[in-house]
Chains A and B, each alone.
Chain A
Amino acid sequence: MKSLVFASLGLAALLAGAPAASAKTLVYCSEGSPENFTPAINTTGTSFDAAIPVYDQLTEFRRGSTEVVPGLAESWDIADGGKTITFHLRKGVKFGSYKDFTPTRDFNADDVLFSINRQWKDDSPYHNVSGGKYDYFSDMDMPTLLDSVAKTDDYTVVVKLKEPNVAILANFAMEFMSIGSAEYADFLLKKGTPEQFDQAPVGTGAFAFVAYQKDSVIRYKKNPDYFGEKALVDDLVFAITPDATARYAKLKAGECHVNGYPRPADIAEMEKDASLKVIHAPGLNIAYWAFNNTRPPFDKKEVRQALSMAIDRDAIIKDVYLGAGVKAKTLIPPTMWSQDDKIADTPYDPEKAKAMLAAAGVKTPLDIDLWYQPVQRPYNPNGKRIGEMMQADLAKIGVNAKLVTFEWGEYRKRLQNAEDDTGQMGWTGDNGDPDNFFFLLGCPDGKPAGNNIPKWCNAEFDSLLAKARTLPDQAERAKLYARMQEIEHDDEPELLIAHSIVYEATRANVVGYKQSPIGTHAFNGVDVK
């Protein structure tokens, strides 16, 4: 009996709560481990999130929006019709420190040159460190766009472009253009451990990196000298929690404060829970069904319009997106500047679709291939299910769609080479600039291996796209984009299906957290009450 009492007491002690913490800590339940902490050499949102607390860029997106605002550059001038950008750097910006490294100088132009040259120049001593893959630098066409990057003094950097492109200012705000410490890089190079640069980051951000335990936790501490919107908590902890149900349970139990990736199936229950807050916004993405405009009968506008009218997108959003999607009217999502809300929606009208097909001289039954995406993407929760629903809709107007797919890499490659009749594809915006969406329908990308999947080329659309890149004034650019949306809607090179809705959840006592349209997660200005 006595031993039973002791055992019970022991168990009670074991199950007793933990002591209260003294410093204020914010815990973010992240969905995975970062590949490393240098955004230039990785491509995943998980890795970007882990670097964001530490790093800044020359330009930045205002927290919670895609508006480009000053970052490490406090201002910039655009000259030569958009071909020269002069960045005026902020003075007195301090780098954080890490164990054996304490910076001896403030941020200056050398750090900018180092960070760009590492990605751009083969002769940079860091170019081949950690694999040397600079996917985003290449994907955003930086090697093609950049002509020269030079400093005129310690706080002025002049960027010359090969052709005008004001949208590049948004590229400078992207994570891959994060500015690291050249002094830290030199220090590590002399020490013989340059790889540490990518594993233990030193930056100018709102938090300084403290430690990382693989698959377990990342720790940061507040940078009290931060020049921008300061951290309101002392410590930031990323609790790596890959399973979505465990993330939800941890949030519910108060073991973390922010869950960046809740499951759509849990949203309804989360919204009923008074201890939680759910926030949502249409994602910076688009799912579409592309018609191969180079193949008959899809080269006829009327056929494309008829096939588009045959698809019941409301049903797809209800059944496949489980409501977590909005019907797309234009290529760009409603949260992005220049989206033209006046564009009329493509109606669901099978009867009219049938008549239009007949009027276009298409004999039914018509056999077509319908390629569906083999993997889940942020904008497409289930390509196969969407394909099956489209197949059923098309059957109603006498079109027999054969469902086809390949392994993801192969699928994308074949679509880019226009080997399909019709195929599902989509896009997730990189930098919040409309150009980053509209280029998808530009003629240069309509060549084989280009990202213009419908292989549609419209001269007026293309010239407006090029002209918009030369205009520094956003309102002027928006006018051109509005016209481009009209052209696209009228010609229907693809059926725009949906923009997915992105959900995030926090504890109710978290204040100041803003959802980023770009899908990243930042915690300066966020407090726990």
Chain B
Amino acid sequence: MLVYFLRRLTLTVPTFIALMFVTFAAIRLVPGDPVEVRVGEHGISPERLVYFRHQLGLDLPVWQQFLDYCWRLLHGDFGVSLSTQQKVLTEFLTLFPATIELSLCAMLFAIAIGVPAGAVAAVKRGSLFDQGLMTVSLFGYSMPIFWWGLLLIMFVSVKLELLPVAGRIDLINYYFDQPTGFMLIDSLLSGQSGAFLDAVRHLILPAIVLGTVPLGVIARMTRSSMLEVLSEDYVRTARAKGLSPFRVIGVHALRNALLPVVTVIGLSVSSLLAGAVLTETIFSWPGVGHWLIESISRRDYPALQGGVMLVSTVVIGVNLVVDLIYGAINPRIRHGR
């Protein structure tokens, strides 16, 4: 297991190197200079342009900028945001709990609905429920997040007035410190009556929107995996032994069927973070997704490079953990067979 872990860990090194290069190069391929993009119709004098480009190190040859960037990165220095003059790592750590909270809840929603629904669809293969679920999951998988989010806001929040439109908490009625950055925890710690429920109410719509795509994937994956498992000999044997249908399906079949679903859940982390960019924008959710979008429009090189590196590190880390879990529960993987 240790060898497998080390092998997987070593494989992340070239990924990181490639990532450093791609994040550095990609932002520089976008037209627009970080100094000039700030300037409106006034323009900027050539002297001031030269001065500020020098201050930002943009007058150095590109290869030297890249080496400086790698050197600083290796020392854990993600730089300082050009627009806010705050450390990129500090900004990331301030915003990331909101993204984690949203992503976890979205994933929880996707698993809580997707796994049982997929299992029932497999058991009742060909039924109306099965066909309906497959259609809905396909619809969920292909639905544009932006459209889905706005639709829910307009219907649930504006028309039915059931849930708040956007944000993480009712700003008029609740104000408290946020030591952890996780609104659910901070609202509980605040001791303010109703704050926790209000935070939950704010989470429902964004979690549904962000969780819809993984929900479709998980439901379909659970169904197909269950179908495969249900036709296995050991399931037939369990049935022949007279076990209750619940034990056969819930314990023997579903547990085995969940193996590929675990992988899908791990892989969904990257798509969740990608989806968070849009979801956070629609729901004014103060997470890293929206922050990265802003960094692009401001040509904030350090924030964008550092932010992408940090988000990618999280994705790589989660994938590594998923691989390890999978290796632990499926020996064929770790032995390379």
Contact = CB atoms under 8 A, between A and B. Distances in A.
B68 interface: no
Contacts of B161: 253
Interface in A472-489: none
B39 interface: yes
B85 A130 contact: yes
A214 B164 contact: no
Contacts of B309: none
A527 interface: no
Contacts of A43: 38-40
Contacts of B283: 246
Contact of B286 (A214, A243, A428): A214
Contact of A15 (B31, B46, B162, B172): B162
Interface string B289-327: 011001000000000000000000000000000000000
Contacts of B162: 15
Interface string A395-435: 00000000000011110110010000000011110000000
A64 B199 CA distance: 37
Interface string A239-253: 111110110011011
B43 A242 contact: no
Given A245-B150, A427-B41, A216 B32 contact: no
Contact of B165 (A21, A133, A249, A428): A249
Given A36-B85, A255-B166, A255-B167, A135 B39 contact: yes
Contacts of B46: 449
Interface of A: 13-16, 18-21, 25, 27, 32-33, 35-36, 43, 130-131, 133, 135, 138-139, 195, 198-199, 213-217, 219, 237, 239-243, 245-246, 249-250, 252-253, 255, 377, 407-410, 412-413, 416, 425-428, 449, 451
A246 B165 contact: yes
Contacts of B33: 409
B173 interface: yes
Given A242-B281, A250-B165, A25 B157 contact: no
B95 A19 contact: no
A407 B39 CA distance: 13
Interface stretch (B190-198, B242-250, B255-263): B190-198
A246 B98 CA distance: 18
Nearest to B94: A214
A127 to B, nearest CB: 13
Majority secondary structure of chain A interface residues (helix, strand, loop or mixed): mixed
B330 interface: no
16 contacts: A15-B162, A19-B173, A21-B172, A35-B84, A195-B85, A215-B291, A217-B167, A239-B171, A243-B281, A243-B284, A246-B284, A253-B157, A255-B165, A408-B37, A428-B40, A428-B41
A519 to B, nearest CB: 12
A344 B260 CA distance: 75
Given A27-B171, A412-B41, A449-B45, A19 B193 contact: yes
A215 B42 CA distance: 28
Given A240-B284, A242-B281, A18 B165 contact: no
A215 B293 CA distance: 12
Given A241-B166, A253-B157, A409-B37, A219 B83 contact: no
Given A19-B194, A215-B290, A409-B36, A249 B157 contact: yes
A33 B165 contact: no
B154 interface: yes
Nearest to A219: B175
A235 to B, nearest CB: 8
Contacts of B157: 249, 253
B171 A237 contact: yes
A18 B194 contact: yes
Interface of B: 31-33, 36-46, 48, 52, 55, 82-86, 91, 94-95, 98, 150, 153-154, 157-158, 161-168, 170-175, 178, 193-194, 197-198, 200-201, 281-284, 286-287, 290-291, 294
Contact of B153 (A27, A195, A245, A451): A245
A134 to B, nearest CB: 10
Report, nearest first, the 4 A-B pairs whose CB atoms are least far apart: A409-B36, A215-B286, A407-B31, A216-B286
Given A246-B283, A407-B32, A14 B197 contact: yes
Contacts of A195: 85
A195 B87 CA distance: 12
Contacts of B55: 131
B158 to A, nearest CB: 5
A36 B84 contact: yes
Contacts of B40: 43, 428
A38 to B, nearest CB: 10
Contacts of A35: 83-84
B177 to A, nearest CB: 9
A18 B173 contact: yes
Nearest to A453: B41
A14 B201 contact: yes
B172 A240 contact: no
A214 B91 contact: yes
Contacts of A20: 173
Nearest to B282: A243
A253 B165 contact: yes
